[in-house]
Amino acid sequence: MVTLAEVAQHAGVSASTVSYVLSGKRSISATTRQRVEQSIRELGYHPNAGARALASSRSNIIALMIPLRTDMYVPVMMEIAIAVATCARTHGYDVLLLTGEEGPDAVRRVTGSGLADAMIVMDVELHDERLPLLRESDRPSVLIGLPADTSGLTCVDLDFRATGALCVEHLATLGHRDIAVIGEAPAVYERHTGFAERTLDGLRTRARELGVRLLHRPCEGGYDAMAATLARIFDERPDTTGFVVQNESAVEPLLALLRQQGRAVPEDVSVVAVCPDQVAVQASVRLTSVAIPAQEMGRRAVEHLVAKLDGRGDDEVVLLAPELTERASTGPAPSPAGS
C-alpha cells in the first residue's frame, strides 16, 4: 500500500504538494508536477478512498436506489443503472447500489454516514416515504420518476402524460374510435407509481378531447394473464381496433394472441407500445412505439446531481418529451363492418 507520504519522499517534495498536484487546487510548477506524476506512476500509487473521504468529507460516491422487484420493466431499470454508472464515472464518481428493500432507512444510513455524497432514487411512488428525508437532507438528490408533490425536489422523467396523449392521438388520427389500454400489473397501480398513473391520465384526457372511447385494463405479464385480459376486452368492447400497451412482458403475448385469433396487425387492429426501442424492434411485429429513453434519463440524473454537487444547479423538474416512432404495427382503422 503506497501512501501519499511515500510518493512525496520519492519525488522530493512535501505531502501537500503531492496532494495539490492530484487535486489541482493550487498551482504547481510544471517541473514539480511532472516529477510528482512520474513518482506516482513508478510507485503505482492510488489515493486511499477512506482517508480522502475523511479529510475532505466527500466520498465521490453516488448512491442509486433501484427497486427490489425483478418482475417488471427490468430492461429499463438495468439500462438506467448502467447509464448512471457509466456517466458517473466520467465525472469521477462511483455508484453505490441500494435496493428499495431497506426503504427510508437506506436514505438515513447513507446520508448519515457520509457513504455517498448524493443520491438517485428510482421507482418513485406518488407519496413516497423517502421524500421527506430527501427534502430535509443536506445532500443533493435526483428522482427518476415524479411524485405527487415535487416541491424541493429535482426530478427527471419521461413526460408520461404527453406519452399517453401521443399514443391516443396517433391511433385517433388513423381513425380508431375504440381503444384498449393494456397496462402494467395491478400492483403497479396499487403502489401509485407515478408513471403508470400519469400515462393513464394523459390517455384519458386526450381520449375525451378527441371523442375516443378508452378501456383500461391492468395486466400481469405472461401469456395466460394476457389471454384472460384480452378476452374480457373484446367481450366488453367488441369494436376495439386500437391497443396501447405499457407492459413489456405483455407485448409478445398480445401479438401472439391477436395472430391466433385471426386478427391481423395492423390491418384489423393497431398496436402502440410504450417501451424501450429495443423491445419494439425485436417484437414479432415491429412495433409503433413511444420509446422510454432510459439512458438519457440516467445521464440527465447524474448530470444534474454533479451540477448540484459543484454548487451549480437547482431544483427542477425535467420532463423529457416523448417521441413516437411509427413502425409496422399501426395502420388505418378498418371500416366498420356493414357500413
Partner DNA sequence: ATAGGCTGTCGAAGCGCTTCGACACCTTTC
Partner DNA sequence: GAAAGGTGTCGAAGCGCTTCGACAGCCTAT
* Contact partner at residue 27 from a copy of itself, DNA, none, CB < 5 to 8 Å by partner kind: DNA
**Separation between Cα atoms, residue 221 and residue 234, nearest integer Å:** 19
In the complex, least distance from residue 282 CB atom to a copy of itself, rounded to whole angstroms: 4
- Closest CB 110 distance from a copy of itself, rounded Å: 8
Is the CB of 111 or the CB of 163 nearer to a copy of itself? 111
Among 34, 38, 41, 56, binds DNA (CB under 7 A): 56
148 sits near DNA (criterion: CB under 7 A): no
* Binding map of a copy of itself across residues 258-297, x = CB under 8 A, - = no contact: -xx-----------------x--xxxxxx-----------
CA distance 96 to 248: 27
Residues 153-212 that bind a copy of itself (CB under 8 A): none
Judged by CB, which is closer to DNA: 15, or 318?
A: 15
CA dist 126 and 193 (Å) reads 6
Q: Which of residues 42-61 bind a copy of itself (CB under 8 A)?
A: 44, 46-54, 57, 59, 61
Q: Return the one option of a copy of itself, DNA, none that residue 20 interacts with (CB less than 5 to 8 A, by type).
A: DNA
Exposure string of 74-102, with b = 16+ CB inside 10 Å and e = fewer, is eebbebbbebbbebbeeeebebbebebee
Does 61 bind DNA (CB under 7 A)? Our answer is no
- Taking the C-alpha atoms of residue 15 and residue 239, their distance in angstroms, rounded to an integer, is 78
Q: Do residues 288 and 270 make contact, with C-beta atoms less than 8 angstroms apart?
A: yes
Long-range contacts of 48-55 (CB under 8 A, 24+ apart): 48/1, 48/3, 53/114
Helix, coil or strand: residue 338: coil
Whether 330 and 272 have beta carbons less than 8 Å apart is answered as yes
> Where along the sequence are the contacts to a copy of itself (CB under 8 A)?
1, 44, 46-54, 57, 59, 61, 64, 66, 68, 70-71, 74-75, 77-79, 81-82, 85-86, 89, 94-99, 101-102, 108-109, 112-115, 221-223, 249, 252-253, 255-256, 259-260, 278, 281-286
